[in-house]
């Protein structure tokens, strides 16, 4: 078991500096253009693939870092570069986590590499859970998966929304209801292979922030997938459903559903993204405060500005520590007995919103224009308190975990 430390080793520092270099040299110069275009930045993803940054190997290496700090460290640097482009680069990872959390070794080995493609033919993947009437309330999910035993196929019908890479992905991971009576416990995850008939892109959303990341509806009309595309396999699903039915009868044991398993694994990662955006805005504000003069002196000489910057840096460091703690706990198998994963996501996302707003304020009128990046960072930061569980849901999870009350 890795000892907890706040000191990165030489290899981690090398990776951090390498990712930071890509973020500074490739992402930052392209950020404003792709934000305006509101399109997937394929050329940037291609550049990331060329150097091995957009690849299964890189994320596997970071994922299996025994300290747990590989992923949050890399994500902080990427999202320091730009949140929209960053999400385009790492969006496939959420689908990959869905397979890693619920799939068999064979399914992981088969599908995760296909999600990324290769240097000459880059691909992306999508994780599809939210629906028009079922976002935070996963128990209200309506997408159905019905097993056709004669053909050993599952038939999927429904509409997913807010799907990163939805419709443009080669591989879609879809969460669907297999037993409606069990509520969120009756869900399962399915792989929808490339070019499967019946899957189409619905509305593409025009967003307030992270506009370089593709977000759309995914429509499923009699989508048939082979039995082996059920993540975890049917035998495991049947066993889990049987336990869930017994739990419902006895009003006892909580059974983890497929979507929540993915979100629990990814919440500290979202916290790291938020830390990256907050740090970027803080650095812009600090540089501006040092060089902007009013009344014959730099504005950082004013306590009103200096104290804001002090608070911003303190909150960013505190958020990073919560993210690192949760990531270390996950890597070393320590249970989130106090919902530490949700704590890290909640605090870091709220810090990102606050710090980016303060950065705009420090830049004054300039901060309100698109000539300065803090305006974009402020818009991007708004997503962190919304996706993969709103701040309100995080607080609910934390409170119920602390009180020992089942999370439904």
DSSP string, 126-192: EEE--BTTBSS-GGG---EEEEETTTTEEEEEEEEEEEETTTT-SEEEEEEES-GGGGGGGEEEEEE
Q: How far is CA 363 from CA 150, 208, 372, in A?
A: 65, 21, 9
> Which residue in the list 39, 235, 388, 392 is annotated as catalytic?
388
- Going by DSSP bridges, is the β-strand pair 121-122/117-118 parallel, antiparallel, or unpaired? antiparallel
Strands 215-226, 199-204: pairing kind: antiparallel
Element of type H or E holding 297: strand 297-298
Give the position of tokens 């997913």: 160
Joined together, the tokens standing for residue 357 give 């707003």
* Residue-by-residue DSSP string for 48-84: HHHTTSSSHHHHHHHHT-TTS-HHHHHHHHHHHH-HH
**Residue 77 a catalytic site member:** no
Please list the active-site residues.
Answer: 388
């Amino acid at each position: 078991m890795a000892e907890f430390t706040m000191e990165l080793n030489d290899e981690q520092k090398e990776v951090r500096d390498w990712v930071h270099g890509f973020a500074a040299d490739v992402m930052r110069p392209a950020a404003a253009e792709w934000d305006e275009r509101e399109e997937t930045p394929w050329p940037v993803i291609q550049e990331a693939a060329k150097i091995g940054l957009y690849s299964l190997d890189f994320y596997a290496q970071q994922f299996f870092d025994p300290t747990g700090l590989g992923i949050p460290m890399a994500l902080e640097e990427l999202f320091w570069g730009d949140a929209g482009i960053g999400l385009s680069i790492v969006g496939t990872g959420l689908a990959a986590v869905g397979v890693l959390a619920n799939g068999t070794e064979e399914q992981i080995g088969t599908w995760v590499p296909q999600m990324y493609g290769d240097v000459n033919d880059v691909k992306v993947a999508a994780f599809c859970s939210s629906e028009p009437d079922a976002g935070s309330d996963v128990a209200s999910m309506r997408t159905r998966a019905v097993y056709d035993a004669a053909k050993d196929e599952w038939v999927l019908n429904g509409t997913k929304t807010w799907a990163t890479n939805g419709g443009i992905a080669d591989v879609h991971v879809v969460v669907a209801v297999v037993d409606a009576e069990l509520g969120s416990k009756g869900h399962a995850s399915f792989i929808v292979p490339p070019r499967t008939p019946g899957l189409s892109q619905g509305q593409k959303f025009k967003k307030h922030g992270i506009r370089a990341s593709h977000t759309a509806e995914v429509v499923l009309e009699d989508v048939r997938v082979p039995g082996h595309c059920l993540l975890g396999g049917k035998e495991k699903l049947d066993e889990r459903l049987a336990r869930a039915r017994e739990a419902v009868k006895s009003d006892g044991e909580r059974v983890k559903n497929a979507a929540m398993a993915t979100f629990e694994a990814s919440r500290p990662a979202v916290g790291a993204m938020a830390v990256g955006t907050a740090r970027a805005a803080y650095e812009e504000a600090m540089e501006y405060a040092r060089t902007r003069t009013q009344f014959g002196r730099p504005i950082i000489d004013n306590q009103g500005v200096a104290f804001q910057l002090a608070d911003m840096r303190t909150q960013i460091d505190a958020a990073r520590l919560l993210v690192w703690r949760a990531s270390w706990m996950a890597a070393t198998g320590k249970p989130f007995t106090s919902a530490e994963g949700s704590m890290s996501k909640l605090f870091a996302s709220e810090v990102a919103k606050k710090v980016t707003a303060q950065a705009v304020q420090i830049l004054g009128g300039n901060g309100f224009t698109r000539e300065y990046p803090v305006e974009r960072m402020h818009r991007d930061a708004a997503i962190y308190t919304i996706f993969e569980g709103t701040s309100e849901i995080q607080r609910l999870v934390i409170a119920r975990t602390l009180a020992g009350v089942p999370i439904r």
